[in-house]
Amino acid sequence: MVKSELVQKLCNMYPNILRRDMEKVVETIIFEMIEALHRDEAVEIRGWGRLKVVTRRARIGRNPKNSKVIQIPAKRAIKWKMSKILYNRLNSNINENKISATN
């Protein structure tokens, strides 16, 4: 799902809200999440997951094209952890299929 599809689904769910207003809401949510991550704050959405910024240390790597050793600099990255609710929902069919397949 891309952002425009999300806006369209929200517009379908709430037909009394204009599309441009719904786009502004989605843009504001994404902007505030980015700003919070920029300030090194974790973003937690219950039932979905948690985003937090981690610092990856500098390390030595190898260029796969020519096998030369290169220095990879330290950088900041985002780590995401899904909620238990989302985990259980994603894996509920898998667990049911395994149980029914063994019977």
Q: Are residues 21 and 55 in the same domain?
A: no
Q: Are residues 98 and 61 in the same domain?
A: yes
Q: Are residues 59 and 92 in the same domain?
A: yes
Using CA atoms, how far apart are residues 10 and 28, in angstroms rounded to an integer?
15
Please report, rounded to a whole number, the percentage of residues in the chain having pLDDT higher than 90.
Answer: 88
Q: Are residues 50 and 72 in the same domain?
A: yes
Prediction pTM value:
0.75
Sheet hosting strand 75-82, strand order edge to edge: 43-45, 49-56, 75-82
Quote the domain boundaries for residue 37: 1-41
Q: Are residues 54 and 103 in the same domain?
A: yes
Q: Are residues 36 and 59 in the same domain?
A: no
Q: pLDDT of 19-51, one tens digit each?
A: 999 999 999 999 999 999 999 999 999 999 999
Task: Provide φ and ψ at 17, rounded to 5°.
Answer: -100, 130
Q: Are residues 91 and 73 in the same domain?
A: yes
Encoded tokens for 41: 């704050």
- What total number of domains does the chain contain? 2
